[in-house]
Amino acid sequence: MHLELPEDIVRRAETNTVELLSILAIQLYADNRLDYADALRLSGLAPPVFNQELIVRALSIQQYQSRQDALRRTAG
């Protein structure tokens, strides 16, 4: 998917692509529309930086193991 944003609006918002992606990821995570792993991936941030952004916004950090990891542990 390719998303285009009007440059003038981005400039007026005094933001950039990296910040917009992290804002989108955090909001979708807060709305329970993305899990932690997907929100982290969308944000493009390092885990400690993403976690700090969640803490600043008073959001809980819930990291669940992937279904594949869970299946491997029960199979072994």
Residue 15 lies in a domain: yes
Domain extent at residue 28: 7-59
How far is it, in rounded angstroms, from Cα 72 to Cα 76? 6
Whole-model pTM? 0.74
Q: Using one digit for the tens of pLDDT, what is the confidence trace for 16-59?
A: 989 999 999 999 999 999 999 999 999 999 999 999 999 999 99
Q: What's the burial of 26, exposed, middle or buried (CB within 10 Å: 0-12/13-18/19+)?
A: buried
pLDDT tens-digit map of 47-61: 999 999 999 999 988
Residues 6+ apart with CB under 8 A from 55: 61
Question: Within a domain: residue 55?
Answer: yes
Q: Which amino acid is at 62?
A: Q
Please state the domain count of the chain: 1
- Report the length, in residues, of the chain: 76
Does 69 map to a domain?
A: no
